[in-house]
Structure 1
Amino acid sequence: ILEEHAFVDELAEREIPVVPASRIDGRTLHSFAGYRFSVFPRRGGRAPELGDSATLEWIGRFIGRIHAVGALTPFQHRPALNPQTFGRDPFDYLRNHGFLPPELAATWASVVEQALEGVARCYERAGELPLLRLHGDCHGGNVLWTPDGPHFVDFDDSRMGPAVQDLWMLLSGERQEMVGQMADVLAGYEDFCDFHPRQLYLVEALRTLRLIHYSAWLAMRWDDPAFPAAFPWFNTQRYWQDRILELREQVALMDEPPLWPV
């Protein structure tokens, strides 16, 4: 947690629009009744217009600045984003804790195995890539827009990983639309940071890992009464049927060429 706070402080010191934790008695992390907590200033904003080229380029510039800082030093304690931590480990947790309906368990496990094989192929095509400190969960809900432009919130998923992790969640729609959107993002991003095109092999692999990881993230918190209330659709027959279909689609998408030739 302190590494997350220190990273956000670094970004704020360089006038990158983020929301650092408030310091109280010189500390950003506190405890009460056995619970850790931090206090942040309230910052409002609306969802960005991710279909607008100028907006995507503007966001891309700031992500490039975030990554320029993120590449300076690595995290020492925060987990990395890779096929083991976001794929194999969550898969094993779900299998070993009885969350799957018995009649779907074998089918789901088979599809996840196929998906992880596809992820491995994507990583093999991409080859060795530099890892850096990321936002980690850079989707439109964590980029708040004001008349002055974007600001970035919710760094609690920050970790070491490839730069494209902070870019692909800004893309949506059909393939040709995503090609244009990525070009817009990179037009701003590359003002501050180089982008290795081989990372495009990882877009669908990272989407696949996020899907697997998210199910396990919910499962690990299912004993907290707040989670069944907030996510009543999780752990139902329909939920797992939908995940099977979703992962089958990802298996096919991971065998398609990247967004543009590498």
Structure 2
Amino acid sequence: MSDFSFQGVTPDLILDAVESVGFYPISGLLPLNSYENRVYQFLADDQKRYVVKFYRPQRWSDAQILEEHQFTAELAEAEIPVVCPLSIQGKTALEWQGFRFAVFPSIGGRALEPEQLEQLEDLGRHLGRLHLTGSARPFSHRPQLYTRAGLDEAAQELLECELLPDSLREAFRAILLPVVARVQAIDWDAYTHVRLHGDCHIGNLLWRPEGLTLVDFDDCRQGPAIQDLWMMLSGDRLQQQIQLETLLEGYEEFMEFNPRELHLIEPLRALRIIHYMAWLARRWEDPAFPHNFSWFAEPRYWEQQILALKEQLSALDEPPLRLQPGFN
């Protein structure tokens, strides 16, 4: 078992950890949908629901975890709806028997509906405000969204992955390496980098009676603004055009958008595809991964990924989305 293991995070350890900081569950521990960390909801004796998050060992340093917490605190201070860890005796980053954890208030809500354009415009406003705050200063410890070394490492892990069938290894290499080369050919330093949510997809956006709330800043890092926008685009080119302009109508109320970043949408999509596959390969020793992602070990999956990478290489050659003339 690797150093990234959660071996030892038993129900008794979880209960001891939360009780050590003054929370006394009167319900069972409800596992929430998280594979990178271990996250549980519980009802405490004060009749309030909380969420405890155990950080995967060795993934982030203490300083990087604190930067996540400090960033959400800055956003909350700017009245941007986010979920912040609770400060307990002046600390948000807690520790129990070698495992680092944080406690959050539990909030309810429903998923954002991207086909509802008024919700997309509201998300644009939230992201404009988030990036305005994020541009005030850089992260000191959190990584860049893209690094050449990080992409090289992900590609190498995939090429050496024991689950990649030998019969497909050469075909996979033949398409993976050109996609990697195209992403690395971009001058990423030519774009402004701000502190980002980093993983802004529908699962991390909750629509509540009082409006939209952004959750789960575990992947926050430094990068171009378009990273927090492009995952909301779906459908054909016309639909994506409408969605993009709707997002930017709200976004530009607070933050100017550089249209040159539209050239980064497909490279960022390629980067996400590669890093997602490498993440699965890297975590395969965690029993939760073979159980929940069994298809990753099947030849058909790798055949599909070869096709997906071929399609992505073609997408990298297509002209980017363009804003309509006169767009404000």
| TM-score of the superposed pair, with normalisation by structure 2 | 0.76
1:63-102 Cα shifts (integer Å, max 9, x gaps) = 0000001111111111111152553221112223433211
Partner letter of residue 68 of structure 1?
Answer: L
Partner letter of residue 56 of structure 1?
Answer: L
Query: How far apart are the structure 2 equivalents of 1:110 and 1:19?
Result: 43
Segments of 4+ moved more than 3 angstroms:
none
Residue 261 to residue 43, structure 1, CA distance change in 2 (3 Å): closer
The alignment partner of 1:51 has SS state of coil
Structure 2: runs of 5 or more not aligned: 1-64
- Residue 141 of structure 1: how far off its partner (Å): 1.0
Choose the corresponding residue for 1:99, options 163, 174, 178: 163
C-alpha contact (below 8 Å) 2:295/2:301 kept by paired residues: yes
Which residue does the alignment assign to 1:43? Answer: 107
- Residue 36 of structure 1: how far off its partner (Å): 1.1
Partner letter of residue 73 of structure 2?
Answer: D
Q: Is 2:260 aligned against 1:205?
A: no
Deviates more, 1:140-149 or 1:179-188: 140-149
Q: Is 2:72 aligned against 1:5?
A: no
The alignment partner of 2:111 has SS state of coil
Deviates more, 1:111-120 or 1:214-223: 111-120
> How many pairs are equivalent?
260
Residue 127 to residue 200, structure 1, CA distance change in 2 (3 Å): farther
Matching of residues 123-142 of structure 1 within 5 Å: 123-124=186-187, 128-142=190-204
The alignment partner of 1:24 has SS state of coil
1:117-173 Cα shifts (integer Å, max 9, x gaps) = 33245x35x871100110000011111111222100111010111000000001111
Q: Flag the structure with more relative contact order, 1 or 2, with Cα contacts below 8 A and sequence separation at least 6.
A: 1
Partner letter of residue 113 of structure 1?
Answer: L
Which residue does the alignment assign to 2:287? Answer: 225
Partner letter of residue 143 of structure 2?
Answer: P
Q: Considering only aligned residues, what root-mean-square deviation do their CA atoms show, in Å?
A: 1.6
- Residue 174 of structure 1: how far off its partner (Å): 0.6
Identity of aligned residues (%): 48
Query: How far apart are the structure 1 equivalents of 2:73 and 2:82?
Result: 9
Partner letter of residue 188 of structure 1?
Answer: G
Q: Is 2:215 aligned against 1:153?
A: yes
Q: Is 2:80 aligned against 1:16?
A: yes
Query: How far apart are the structure 1 equivalents of 2:282 and 2:206?
Result: 28
Residue 83 to residue 174, structure 1, CA distance change in 2 (3 Å): farther
Higher-Rg member (1/2)? 2
Choose the corresponding residue for 2:240, options 168, 175, 178: 178
Residue 85 to residue 53, structure 1, CA distance change in 2 (3 Å): farther
- Residue 33 of structure 1: how far off its partner (Å): 2.2
Structure 1: runs of 5 or more not aligned: none
The structure richer in helix per residue is 1
Which residue does the alignment assign to 1:56? Answer: 120
1:181-231 Cα shifts (integer Å, max 9, x gaps) = 000000000111111100000001101100000011111111111121122
Q: Is 2:129 aligned against 1:65?
A: yes
Q: Is 2:90 aligned against 1:26?
A: yes
Partner letter of residue 250 of structure 1?
Answer: Q
- Residue 111 of structure 1: how far off its partner (Å): 0.8
